[in-house]
Each structure stands twice: as structure tokens, then as C-alpha cells.
Amino acid sequence: MSARASVFNTTLIGVEVVKGTRVQAVRRLLSTGFMIKPSIPIKPHVPQGTKYATEAVGGKEHTVGDANGTADFNDMCYLLSNLLTTATITTPAGATNTRQWVFAPISRGPDSPKTFIVDIGSSAGAERAVEVILEGLTLKVMKEEASVIGTILGKITTESITPSTGRDSVYNLNLGGATGGTFTLTVGANTTSAQTNNVVASVLQTAITGLASVGANNATVTGVAGGPFTITFVAGMGSKQVVMTASLGSLTGGSGAALTQTTIGMPLADVPVRPMDPEIFSVFSGTSMANDVQTITIAATAGTFTLTWTDPYGVSHTTGTISFNATGATVQTALLAEGMGLNTGDVTVTGAASGPWIATFAGRFANLFIAPLTFNDSGLTGTTLPFLSVVHTTSGGLTLLQKCLEFEWALTGRFLPEFTIKADDLSWTDFVETAPKHELTLVVEHDSIAAGYMTEMRAKSTRYIRLANIGPEIEHVTTNHYNYWFRMTWAFKFIADDRADSGGVYADTFKMEPVIDVNIPNDANGNSAILEGLLWTDLLGLES
């Protein structure tokens, strides 16, 4: 056997349907690597009257480890589902292949995180742990890297396993206690001969593997005579979805006969690599979560004009010509035209013909400050000046930080294992949630803005902060462009400040404590959440 080289180790994961019940791993993480090892609490026993140990006693074993890698849009869906809670997955307005994942962990009550089975290693050797959960995670963004570092808990580590190659299709066949009659099973274009109500597993297996659409040794059947039976497609039919149907109408006696697929087969596949570019991260902060609202008033009696909006990153976009007597819907259409950098839902404009029109920015630009719209009114005529004016009705609450040097989010101490005095539980019985340590770190140049933060710290004011990253385009539908997108938003209070050199810049390092706040979107219980995590990816779901 060749030596086990670390460079070939990969992380395979499967999402557990029932916590702690083994499934086959079907997805390979390529941006995030897990490392697991057994934690075996063994203590030497030194008898009374002796100086040295003669025996050893052991406690219950479990798995510990870590996760680390590059922040990745797709991997983040798995990490946050494991650390925080089950995501709410929807399709953004107008999209086809893009999915929006929203994470809103409950602030008062238990969350529902997904647990994983994890295979780690290579063909030279591998280990496995079940009921794996991230106990903590840190996301750190610097000028040259965006990294994730986490700590892991799991049940007993199984050594020297063969890594999963995919998940087999499994069916349950229940003949409902039939006392007579026959049934058939169909896979693809082929159907078995009629099988009796009291068929035994070996005969049923021979009938299934005798089908040209299945083949010898490609299915196993277990169960007692007359069922229920577990039918598993393996070998040449393993690691893929197999569609099987049953004709059960000729059975007599009994009730409730049914064929049910209990496990959907799928091959082992890579989670597509979509790293978050460190240079495209942005941090926004402010004292409110208001959406930006602007009112456009027109006094002209004829002609056309154009509007220009500048996105939070400083890129300007100019509309085509708009008639003086346009309705709000027409102005909205102009702002949502191709090349304007706005998707359906990013801006709504209301108002009657000839205005005034009220433009509200939301969607991807929710809560962000948008510079006042500018315009070209040289094509307008009338008797009253100005022909066109724009005023901020409400300024968006969050503005882009210009001098942010580093940002870090850390949530640790999220779960603890529960050990019971029970001989048949060789590891922990379950895990429990704790009151975790939750901290944000912001490094900014020491300037007038940082000085203002000191004022807010002294006043114990609540402030809001958002970390965001925009990635490559997923799809282009009509005038809408859907990109990979990540954002996390918190309400917080400053709790500490330090000052030191940071890459030659005299900088403040602020520690912030996230707080529950009514302006952070509600959690599943209708309470204010402690954070909002949002991603756009092309993953339809975990394991999709």
C-alpha cells in the first residue's frame, strides 16, 4: 500500500435525514477541508500504595476536529446549514436557476441545523464520523484572503473505511399482509414475472436481478417471507437514481400494499467551486436599517429627460429618455432596463402621470444608502423652473465603509455533547445548544469616522453592519442579471477598542457584540433574529 499523502485527502459529506443515522456521503467539498480525530478520555489507574499505573479506565468516545478553507458561495450553504439552522430556499423574482438561501437562527428557542456524515481521506485510507456538527465558525476577510475556520463535534470515529462512492437507491415493498394473489415490479422497460404474495427475499432478488434493465448482482433484497422487503440497487446500479414501480392490484386479502422509495440514489459529485474573491468584499454600516426612498418631482409641460443612479460601489447607470408625462410604472421600467444594474425588486417607482414619483430601493440594495438620482433635463420645456428635482425622502441606513482594513465574524461554543450513563451509548447521546460566544471584529483606519464610533461606544448605541460579496453571473433572464451573492447583517454594540499599526496604517480594532434587534428580519418564531444570512447560488438545495 502506498503512503497516505495528505494532499489527496478530500471531504465527503452526506446530509442526515435522521440525526445520527448513517447515510452515504454524496458531495465532495473542494473549498473547505474537514479534519476529524477520536477523542478518547483514558485515565491511568494507579492503585493505592504504588507509584505507577497498572491499569487504565476510559470514558465515552466522540469525534473532534476542525474545518478550514476559502470562503465559497456554495460551501457556505453547507456550513451555515450545519452551524446555524435549516435555510429557507426560494427563487428570486424573475430567476430560473438561481436560488436564494436565507438563514435566520432563532433567538429564543432551539434551531434546526442539518447534521452530516463525513468521510475524510483518500483511496489510501479514510475515516468516518456521523452526526457531525459545527460547534463554531469564524469568517475572516482580509485584503489577500477570505477564510473560514471551524471546530467540529461528532460521534465515534470509524477508522479504515472505504470512502463513499455515492448513494444507492433503496425501496421498501410492503405487501400489506396479502393472503393471496400476485404482483410484479418494473424497472425501465422490463417487468418481473408474477411474484406470489408469500414470496421469499431470495426469490424476489433473483426476479429483479434477472431483468435486463437491472442485471446480475445489481440488487439485494432483504426481509421475511411475504415482506416487508428492503430492495437496494448496488454495484452497476448503485450510486444513481433507479426508478422502480409496482403493480399490486392483483394481491388479495390484507390492505395497504405499497412500494415506497426510502432513499433517492445519486452519484458522488463535487460541490462546484465558487470562491469569494477577497477584493470584492464590502462592509456597510449605519445607525438604521431604512430603505432608501427618493422623490422625483417634475414641473415641465413637454419633452423628455434621463435619470442617472449611482450604485453603492460608485458605478453610474443612465436611463433612456423618459417622457415628461410618464407614470411611475414607466419610470420604473426605465430604471430596470438592460444595463441599469437593477433587477426586478431592486427598485419600485410609484406615482401618476407627470409625477411626482417615489422611488424605493430594496432587494439587493435594501437598507443601503443610494446617492441622490441625477438627471439631464435639457430635453424638457415649460414655464416653471426647475423642470426636475430629486429629494431624499428617506436615506438608506447603511453606507459603504471606505477605510475598512479587516473584518471578522466568530460564532463559537454553539453546541455541547450530552453524555449519558447508559452502557449501550458508546458515544454522546445527543448534542445541546448553548449560549454561544458571538463576536464581530472591525479594523478601520483611525480617522474621524473611527472617532465617531468611540462616541457611539460611550453611548452604548445600537448600530448595524453588513458584510457583502458579489460573485460571477449565474444567469441572465430578460433584463435581470443574477450573480452569486453573499451578505450577512447584524445589529451590534461596540464593546472594546484597541489601536495599533495594521500594515503601516494606524488603525482601530473594534470588538462588537451582536444584539437582538427588531430591525433584523424575523426568525422562524416571529422573533427578531440575531443575524440575517443570505446567499444566491445555483444550488437548488443541499446535495442538489
CATH number at residue 318: 2.60.40
Residue 273 placed within a domain: no
- Is residue 2 scored above 80 in pLDDT? no
Q: 25 with 111, same domain?
A: yes
Last residue of a domain, one of 351, 376, 396: 396
Last residue of a domain, one of 349, 369, 396: 396
- Average pLDDT, stretch 87-110? 93
pLDDT-derived band at 14 (thresholds 50, 70, 90) equals very high
Task: For residue 197, give its domain range.
Answer: 166-267
Number of domains comprising the chain: 3
Which parts of 40-169 are beta strand (E)?
42-45, 55-58, 62-70, 88-90, 99-103, 116-122, 125-141, 146-154, 166-167
Q: 172 with 159, same domain?
A: no
The pLDDT of residue 394:
97
Q: 296 with 409, same domain?
A: no
Q: Which residues contact 255 (CB under 8 A, 6 or more apart)?
A: 176, 177
Residue 148 placed within a domain: yes
pLDDT-derived band at 3 (thresholds 50, 70, 90) equals confident
Q: 117 with 217, same domain?
A: no
Q: Which residues contact 403 (CB under 8 A, 6 or more apart)?
A: 444, 445, 447, 449
What letter represents residue 117's amino acid?
Answer: I
pLDDT-derived band at 81 (thresholds 50, 70, 90) equals very high
- Average pLDDT, stretch 139-164? 95
Query: Measured between alpha carbons, how far is 407 from 244 in angstroms, rounded to an integer?
Result: 52
pLDDT-derived band at 459 (thresholds 50, 70, 90) equals very high
- Is residue 485 scored above 80 in pLDDT? yes
Q: 367 with 300, same domain?
A: yes
Last residue of a domain, one of 373, 396, 419: 396
Which of the two residues, 5 and 326, has the higher pLDDT score? 326
Residue 459 placed within a domain: yes
The reply to whether the predicted model has a pTM over 0.85 is yes
pLDDT-derived band at 524 (thresholds 50, 70, 90) equals low
> Given the DSSP bridges, would you call strands 27-29 and 269-270 parallel, antiparallel or unpaired?
parallel
- Average pLDDT, stretch 361-369? 96
Residue 50 placed within a domain: no
> Given the DSSP bridges, would you call strands 229-233 and 219-223 parallel, antiparallel or unpaired?
antiparallel
Q: Percent of the chain, pLDDT > 70?
A: 99
Q: 413 with 506, same domain?
A: yes
pLDDT for 380-405, tens place per residue?
999 888 999 999 999 999 999 999 99
Query: Measured between alpha carbons, how far is 83 from 468 in angstroms, rounded to an integer?
Result: 19
CB 213 within 8 A of CB 190: yes
Q: 23 with 143, same domain?
A: yes
Residue 279 placed within a domain: no
Q: 474 with 504, same domain?
A: yes
Q: Percent of the chain, pLDDT > 90?
A: 90
The pLDDT of residue 1:
53
CA-closest candidate to residue 356, choices 388, 386, 378: 388
Residue 212 placed within a domain: yes
The pLDDT of residue 544:
82
Residue 543 placed within a domain: no
Q: 158 with 245, same domain?
A: no
Q: 262 with 151, same domain?
A: no
Query: Measured between alpha carbons, how far is 171 from 222 in angstroms, rounded to an integer?
Result: 11
Q: 257 with 388, same domain?
A: no
Q: Tell me what the pLDDT averaged over the chain comes to.
A: 95
pLDDT-derived band at 123 (thresholds 50, 70, 90) equals confident
The pLDDT of residue 526:
72
The pLDDT of residue 117:
96
Q: 16 with 100, same domain?
A: yes
- Is residue 303 scored above 60 in pLDDT? yes
Residue 1 placed within a domain: no
